[in-house]
């Protein structure tokens, strides 16, 4: 496993793609967060919302490059045929796949930490200028605050889980384009479809099982009572999706011809 991990790490660092995608993830997350924080006004939002969640809104965009990276880590090898070289060098396929997952999770977690902390800093600097002040009952965003810390750690884990989910899906479909289509469908489409559902009971059920709506509950710091799912439970749903995708990917990788 150590040798496989080292090999996968070498693969990740010796091409420009992963570096660019991770950089893209950081830029996308921080930029959207900062842009949103600079257009919002406390009045327009009724001052009653959740500034932490709003400050970390960039994760909704930053997950896209994370998903692309997750898909490409294995989908790219299927595309070029290098998967055969990989499996020839590391014929214990589940070990090789696990090494990919660990290496991917590692780099996404590190870049995700930068991205999420950057967003939080942008929110801390920008939101008070737009009326999210102590006078309206909002303290500046700070890691010293328990729920905020949970939202930050949860967001980093969320980005990591999305990358792993993508890896699993790509291993199942063995195509980058189909893989990314399915992952983005799962992430972005389910919340949109939720709005088409008329029955509130179904709607809530969908919000509880959709990987993005459920997982981002971990960012909530106010009105926890009203959430369809509690923060950690929500992230656990996303983790379940990632685990299921990885398990399916590992199983198929093991039994199928390369």
Partner 1 sequence: MTGFAELLNAEWTKFRTVLGWVTGMAVAALLVVLVALLAGISSDQQGSGPAPTGPGGEPVTDSFYFVHRPLTGDGSVTVTVSALESSVPTGLDGVRPGVVPWAKAGLIVRQSTRQGSPYAAIMVTGDHGVRMQHDYVNDTAGPAGPVRLLRLVRSGDTITGYASADGTAWTTVGSARLRLGPTAQGGLFVASPQAVEGLGTTSSVSTAAFRDLRLQGGWAGGEWTGEQLGAGSPSFAGYPADTSGSFAESGGGLTVTGAGDLAPAVRYSLPTAGTLGNLLTGTFAALIAVIVVGALFITTEHRTGLIHVTLAAGPGRGRVLLAKAIVLGSVAFVAGLAGTVVAVPLGVRLARAHGVYIFPVSASTGLRVAVGTAALLAAASVLALAVGAVVRSSAAAVTTVIVAFVLPYLLVANPFMPAGAAAWLTRVTPAAAFAVQQTLVKYPQVANPYTPYNDYYPLAPWAGLAVLAGYAAAGLAVAAVVLRRRDA
Partner 2 sequence: MSPIQGIVVAGLRKRYGATLALDGMSFTVRPGVVTGFVGPNGAGKSTTMRVILGLDAVDEGIALIGGRRYRGLRHPLKHVGSLLDAAAPHPGRSGRNHLLWLAHSQGLAARRVDRVIEQVGLGPAARRGAGGYSLGMRQRLGIAAALLGDPPIIMLDEPFNGMDPDGIIWMRGLLRSLAADGRAVLVSSHLMSEVQDTADHLVVAGRGRAIADAGVADLIAACSGGRVVLRTTAGADATRVLARAGATVAATGRDTVTVSGMPADRIVALLGAGAVPFSEVSAHRATLEDVYLELTREAVEFRAATPTEVTR
Query: Closest approach of Cβ 49 to partner 2, in Å?
Result: 43
- 198 makes contact, choosing from partner 1, partner 2, none, with CB < 5 to 8 Å by partner type, with partner 1
Exactly one of 110, 202, 223, 224 binds partner 1 (CB under 8 A); which one?
A: 202
The Cα–Cα gap between 8 and 75 comes to 14
Q: Residue 198 CB: number of other CB atoms within 10 A?
A: 7
The three state secondary structure string of 102-120 is HHHHHHHHHHHHHHHHHHH
Count of positions on this chain that bind partner 2 (CB under 8 A): 28
Stretch 186-215 residues interacting with partner 2 (CB under 8 A)? none
Q: Comparing C-alpha atoms, which of 135, 84, 30, 43 is closest to residue 256?
A: 84
Query: Closest approach of Cβ 97 to partner 2, in Å?
Result: 13
- 72 makes contact, choosing from partner 1, partner 2, none, with CB < 5 to 8 Å by partner type, with partner 1
Where does residue 188 rank: exposed (0-12), middle (13-18), buried (19+ CB within 10 A)? middle
Q: Which stretch binds partner 1 (CB under 8 A): 62-70, 141-149, 154-162, 230-238?
A: 62-70
- 46 makes contact, choosing from partner 1, partner 2, none, with CB < 5 to 8 Å by partner type, with partner 1
Cβ–Cβ < 8 Å for 123, 56: yes
**Distance set, CA 150 to CA 40, 116, 119, 247 (Å):** 24, 12, 15, 27
Q: Comparing C-alpha atoms, which of 122, 143, 111 is closest to residue 30?
A: 122
Stretch 83-102 residues interacting with partner 2 (CB under 8 A)? 84-85, 87-93
Q: Which stretch binds partner 2 (CB under 8 A): 1-9, 118-126, 225-233, 240-248?
A: 1-9
Return the structure tokens found at 45: 């939002």
Query: Closest approach of Cβ 239 to partner 1, in Å?
Result: 22
Stretch 7-46 residues interacting with partner 2 (CB under 8 A)? 7-11, 14-17
Cβ–Cβ < 8 Å for 83, 77: yes
Contacts to partner 1 by CB under 8 A: 36, 39-41, 44-46, 48-49, 54, 57, 60-61, 64-65, 67-68, 71-72, 75-76, 79-80, 176-181, 184-185, 188-189, 191-193, 195-199, 202
């Amino acid at each position: 496993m150590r040798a496989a991990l080292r090999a996968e790490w070498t693969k990740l660092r010796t091409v420009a793609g992963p570096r660019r995608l991770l950089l893209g993830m950081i830029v996308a997350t921080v930029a959207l967060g900062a842009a949103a924080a600079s257009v919002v006004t406390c009045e327009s939002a009724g001052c009653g919302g959740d500034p932490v969640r709003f400050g970390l809104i960039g994760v909704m965009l930053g997950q896209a490059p994370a998903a692309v990276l997750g898909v490409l880590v294995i989908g790219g090898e299927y595309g070029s045929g290098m998967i055969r070289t990989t499996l020839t060098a590391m014929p214990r396929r589940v070990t090789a796949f696990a090494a990919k997952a660990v290496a991917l999770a590692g780099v996404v977690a590190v870049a995700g930490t930068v991205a999420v902390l950057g967003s939080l800093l942008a929110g801390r600097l920008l939101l008070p200028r737009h009326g999210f002040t102590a006078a309206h009952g909002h303290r500046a965003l700070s890691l010293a605050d328990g729920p905020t810390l949970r939202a930050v750690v949860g967001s980093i884990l969320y980005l990591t889980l999305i990358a792993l989910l993508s890896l699993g899906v790509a291993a199942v479909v063995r195509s980058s384009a189909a893989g990314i289509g399915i992952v983005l469908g799962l992430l972005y489409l389910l919340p949109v479809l939720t709005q088409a559902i008329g029955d509130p009971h179904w709607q809530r059920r969908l919000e509880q099982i959709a990987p993005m709506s459920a997982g981002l509950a971990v960012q909530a710091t106010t009105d926890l009572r009203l959430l369809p799912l509690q923060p950690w439970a929500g992230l656990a749903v996303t983790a379940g999706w990632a685990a299921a995708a990885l398990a399916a990917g590992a199983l198929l990788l093991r039994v199928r011809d390369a």
